Structure 1
Amino acid sequence: MTKPSVFSVGDIVKLKSGGPDMTIKEVVTDMKNKPNGKYWCQWFAGKKLDSGQFAHESLIDVAVES
């Protein structure tokens, strides 16, 4: 089942449970190149650049939160 992409590359998000602001690095797609509701995000932990994949349901838009 494909899900519409709500966030775009470059959007600033964070986990609903808290944590650092993260930048959407990539919208994950299925084999038919349709968004699947997951995103690769990146953020800085001190000076180290980290990244991870997160489900849409676990993220909030920082701009909307403010």
Structure 2
Amino acid sequence: MSTQPQYAVGIIVKLKSGGPEMTIQKANKDVMTHEFTGSYKCQWFAGKKLEDGIFPEDSLELVKPEAKGV
């Protein structure tokens, strides 16, 4: 378990195994110690429906922004 989150709120990630792009909503912290637990609450849209879930840091990877050509 990492002591500091690798991803900040608002960063776009996806599961290493595939799936939709998700936004980091919250880095989960232990209620007693306030230390990072190693997981994140993420949210994404499935059509028009907003979904969310909790995922371990090791299962996520950063989505690199696409270069916008002129």
Compute the TM-score of the two structures, normalised by the length of structure 1.
0.89
Letter in 2 for 1:49: L
The correspondence of residues 1-66 of structure 1 with structure 2, limited to 5 A, is 3-30=3-30, 31-63=32-64
What's the % identity of the aligned pairs? 51
Unaligned runs of 5+ in 2: none
Deviation of 1:2 after TM superposition, in Å, equals: 5.6
Q: How many positions carry a matched residue from both structures?
A: 65
Compute the TM-score of the two structures, normalised by the length of structure 2.
0.84
Q: Which has the larger radius of gyration?
A: 2
Q: Hey, which bits of structure 1, 4+ residues long, moved more than 3 A?
A: none
Residue aligned with 1:18, SS: coil
Q: Considering fraction of residues, name the structure with more strand.
A: 1
